[in-house]
Amino acid sequence: MPHGFCGIFMNSHMKSDTLFHCIAILTVCIWGTTFVSSKILIQSGLTPVEIFLYRFSAAYVFLLAISHKKFIANSLKDEFVLFLAGLFGGSLYFITENTALEITQASNVSLLVCTAPVFTQLFVCLFHKERFRRHFLSGSIIALSGVALVVFNGNGTLEINPTGDFLSLTAAISWALYCLVLKKLGNAYPTLFITRKVFFYGVLSLLLYFTIQPANLHIELLSQPKIYSNLLFLALVASMLCYISWNATIRAIGASKASNYLYINPLATILTAHFILGEQITSVSILGAVCIIGGVYLAEKR
């Protein structure tokens, strides 16, 4: 390959990587804003599990409208892997996280769920024989310290609740496994197909959960503008568009690198809560934000 062409190719590859790093940041920031919509919906009478059912069902229908040429994977093995993606990245993650929120402090949940990048890197090293990046551990510790400063905001303390904390860690592990499953699928299928399958199996596995824990649905509330507008945001933007962008990002830059940006999630949440709900940003939060940004930068360095 001519030297000049190599230079052009490498420069183009670097630009592509930079683009997907930016997409990962934008995706996580949008996910951070979903706190506000979910809070509004819960205050309006919907349950967390019900919100997941509506947002994933609507996202599946919208995605089906634009991607409907292929319905079944090329093999039963791949179809099972797609089921695992829907389970880990959909129902299991949301059920464990939301159940944890009901029985322990929200700050505990926020902090423990943000350990997902650590589990992702660990699983990638175990199952794909990749080496830990040189600055990953130190960057993760700094970023997690920043997350702790943001979620506790100098006021709370970490109260041990074995069941709630176990469920929070299960949610983090579930998301890490979701990223690992996406990595396993690689480039075998289009991103739209994989994302649509994630929504389908996410809803299907939730329906199986309802056979154990019957759902209490509030269909009559869906006609309220405040309800359906927030659900549409969660379905179209936070679910459909963000899952597509996240899945494409993992395919482009890898699961461990993409997952590092999850540390930014609480930062996006406090900014949204400040501008929409009027919640105060303190000096402790600002220090936490600096730690998060610095930690993510360090963890991403080679």
Which residue segment(s) compose the domain that 115 sits in? 17-300
Asked if the model's pLDDT at residue 95 lies above 90, the reply is: no
* Residues 49, 221: Cα–Cα separation, whole Å: 15
Residue 171: both structure tokens together: 């949610």
Instruction: Using alpha carbons, list the distances in angstroms from residue 132 to 18, 174, 185, 208.
Output: 21, 20, 22, 37
**Are 168 and 96 within 8 A, CB to CB?**
yes
133 three-class SS: coil
What are the pLDDT digits (tens) for 117-163? 888 888 888 877 777 667 777 888 888 888 777 777 656 555 667 78
Question: Does the residue 90 lie in any domain?
Answer: yes
Share of the chain above pLDDT 90, in %: 34
The pLDDT-based confidence of 277 (bands split at 50, 70, 90) is low
Asked if the model's pLDDT at residue 3 lies above 90, the reply is: no
Question: Does the residue 11 lie in any domain?
Answer: no
Asked if the model's pLDDT at residue 76 lies above 80, the reply is: yes
* Residues 280, 231: Cα–Cα separation, whole Å: 26
Q: Is 47 left (phi over 0), alpha (psi -120 to 50) or beta?
A: beta
Q: What is the pTM of this model?
A: 0.83
Contacts of 2 (CB under 8 A, 6+ apart): none
Instruction: Return the higher-pLDDT residue of 48 and 193.
Output: 193
- Name the nearest CA neighbour of 236 among 100, 62, 94: 62
Question: Does the residue 208 lie in any domain?
Answer: yes
Question: Does the residue 60 lie in any domain?
Answer: yes
Instruction: Return the higher-pLDDT residue of 200 and 146.
Output: 200
What are the pLDDT digits (tens) for 209-268? 888 888 788 888 999 999 999 999 999 999 999 999 999 999 988 888 888 888 888 888
Residue 104: both structure tokens together: 């322990």
| pLDDT score recorded for residue 267 | 80
Share of the chain above pLDDT 70, in %: 87
Ramachandran angles phi, psi of 281, nearest 5°: -100, 120
CA Rg, the chain, in Å?
19
Question: Does the residue 3 lie in any domain?
Answer: no
**Are 221 and 45 within 8 A, CB to CB?**
yes
| pLDDT score recorded for residue 10 | 36
Number of domains in the chain: 1
The pLDDT-based confidence of 98 (bands split at 50, 70, 90) is confident
Q: Within 10 A of 288 (CB to CB), how many other CB atoms are there?
A: 25
Residue in the structure block whose two tokens are 């359906």 = 228
Asked if the model's pLDDT at residue 4 lies above 50, the reply is: no
Question: Does the residue 6 lie in any domain?
Answer: no
Question: Does the residue 271 lie in any domain?
Answer: yes
The pLDDT-based confidence of 88 (bands split at 50, 70, 90) is very high
Question: Does the residue 7 lie in any domain?
Answer: no
Asked if the model's pLDDT at residue 296 lies above 50, the reply is: yes
Instruction: Return the higher-pLDDT residue of 1 and 104.
Output: 104
| pLDDT score recorded for residue 192 | 93
Which amino acid, residue 168?
A: S
**Average predicted confidence (pLDDT) for the chain:** 83
**Eight-state DSSP code of residue 281:** P
| pLDDT score recorded for residue 155 | 63
The top-scoring range by mean pLDDT among 44-48, 100-104, 134-138 is 44-48
Asked if the model's pLDDT at residue 8 lies above 50, the reply is: no
